[in-house]
């Protein structure tokens, strides 16, 4: 039988914000949503995309390997910049995204790792070997494994196998999900998930469509069904100033969480940040929320207290 294989864009060890204790977080590629504030735009694509890290490029005059390696003639000379190391001018390259088919040959040729593909295949055994390295930390901290994305249910079969393997290894599991997948799939993974990290981004379906690219009916329905079936949920609300932090939306979210009853263990509010903006440029996309500022500590405390007013247990981050 073929070994289960998935596509990941990252693995983070010693993660402390995505579930209890110290965790290893597996980030799977592919997502049906395209949230305007997404800080991992590379995660939205299941297929690999070529990413270019300007800071690592040593310049076409001394290198230029990518230009000759590209069979599509998609790499050309781009802007010039002054090197922060010796103040010399560097001739950078640029990728014509219309021509590029993300074959990755330029990344293979690049000596500086300035070009790389955004996703790679990994076997279940390889992931489990990495997970096992930190077992003593999980045991001491009450941590475990978090499967995240993207949306892990895009790779439902691999997610299921990974969850099963973690439970066989007696590890605590979290599934970080947008809620946007068929309920039948959640039903299959449920016995192997200790805690769902469940995103609620907007309670108004038209706003949801506009901000995330999908309506919210399925997301809300799945949350109700999971709660009714006995799953444990940690609700996650990204706080995006002016886009989803109105009193009306926060109230509707809180009322919904109360409706889910004892299934909701915790509500986690996550302040918007723009640290992912630079990643858009790397893969030839445009970041649209340039004028949105991160909420300050005072605002986050205000939201926390507001939600606590609905008898919810709330934490920031």
Q: Does 260 bind ligand SF4 (CB under 6 A)?
A: no
Residue 150 CA to residue 257 CA, distance in Å, equals 23
Q: Does 42 bind ligand SF4 (CB under 6 A)?
A: no
User: 178: alpha, beta or left, given left = phi > 0 and alpha = psi -120 to 50?
Assistant: alpha
Structural Rg of the chain based on CA atoms: 21
Q: Does 57 bind ligand SF4 (CB under 6 A)?
A: yes
Residue 167 CA to residue 185 CA, distance in Å, equals 18
> Is 137 within 8 Å of 143 (Cβ atoms)?
yes
By beta-carbon proximity to ligand SF4, the closer residue of 107 and 163 is 107
Among 36, 105, 218, 312, binds ligand SF4 (CB under 6 A): 105
Q: Does 95 bind ligand SF4 (CB under 6 A)?
A: yes
Q: Does 90 bind ligand SF4 (CB under 6 A)?
A: no
Helices 124-132 & 156-168 angle (0-180, nearest 10): 40
Residue 2 CA to residue 239 CA, distance in Å, equals 42
By beta-carbon proximity to ligand SF4, the closer residue of 118 and 249 is 118
Pairing label, strands 23-28, 5-15:
antiparallel
- As measured in angstroms, the least distance from the Cβ of 73 to ligand SF4 is 8
- As measured in angstroms, the least distance from the Cβ of 155 to ligand SF4 is 23
Residue 260 CA to residue 200 CA, distance in Å, equals 13
Token look-up 């996703």 returns 119
- The footprint of ligand SF4 on residues 61-80 (CB under 6 A) is 63-66, 69-70, 72, 74-75
By beta-carbon proximity to ligand SF4, the closer residue of 33 and 93 is 93
Token look-up 């004892």 returns 262
- As measured in angstroms, the least distance from the Cβ of 101 to ligand SF4 is 5
- The footprint of ligand SF4 on residues 223-242 (CB under 6 A) is none
Applying CB under 6 A, the site for ligand SF4 has a residue count of 27
By beta-carbon proximity to ligand SF4, the closer residue of 30 and 48 is 48
CB under 6 A: which stretch of 35-43, 58-66, 136-144, 167-175 binds ligand SF4?
58-66
Q: Exposed, middle or buried by CB within 10 Å (0-12, 13-18, 19+), for 215?
A: middle
Q: What residues make contact with ligand SF4 under the rule CB under 6 A? A: 50, 57-58, 60, 63-66, 69-70, 72, 74-75, 93, 95, 100-106, 109-110, 112, 114-115
């Amino acid at each position: 039988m073929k070994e289960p294989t998935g596509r990941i864009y990252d693995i983070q060890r010693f993660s402390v914000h995505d579930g209890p204790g110290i965790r290893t977080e597996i980030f799977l590629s592919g997502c049906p949503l395209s949230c305007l504030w997404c800080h991992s735009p590379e995660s939205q694509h299941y297929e690999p995309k070529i990413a270019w890290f300007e800071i690592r490029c040593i310049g076409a005059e001394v290198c230029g390997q990518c230009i000759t390696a590209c069979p599509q003639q998609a790499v050309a000379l781009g802007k010039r910049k002054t090197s922060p190391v010796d103040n010399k001018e560097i001739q950078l390259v640029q990728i014509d995204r219309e021509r590029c088919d993300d074959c990755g040959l330029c990344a293979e040729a690049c000596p500086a790792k300035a070009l790389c593909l955004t996703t790679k295949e990994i076997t279940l055994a390889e992931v489990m070997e990495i997970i096992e390295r930190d077992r003593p930390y999980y045991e001491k901290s009450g941590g475990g494994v978090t499967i995240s994305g993207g949306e892990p249910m895009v790779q439902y079969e691999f997610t299921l196998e990974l969850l099963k393997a973690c439970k066989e290894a007696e590890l605590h599991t979290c599934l970080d999900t947008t809620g946007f997948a068929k309920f039948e799939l959640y039903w299959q993974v449920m016995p192997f998930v200790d805690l769902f990290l469940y995103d609620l981004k907007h309670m108004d379906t038209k706003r949801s469509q506009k901000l995330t690219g999908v309506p919210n009916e399925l997301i809300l329905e799945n949350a109700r069904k999971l709660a009714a079936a006995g799953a444990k949920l940690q609700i996650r609300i990204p706080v995006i100033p002016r886009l989803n932090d109105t009193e009306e939306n926060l109230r509707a979210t809180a009322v919904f969480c109360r409706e889910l009853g004892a299934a909701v263990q915790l509500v986690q509010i996550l302040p918007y940040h723009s640290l992912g903006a630079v990643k858009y440029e790397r893969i030839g996309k445009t970041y649209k929320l340039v004028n949105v500022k991160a909420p300050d500590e005072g605002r986050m405390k205000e939201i926390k207290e507001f939600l606590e007013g609905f008898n919810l247990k709330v934490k920031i981050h």
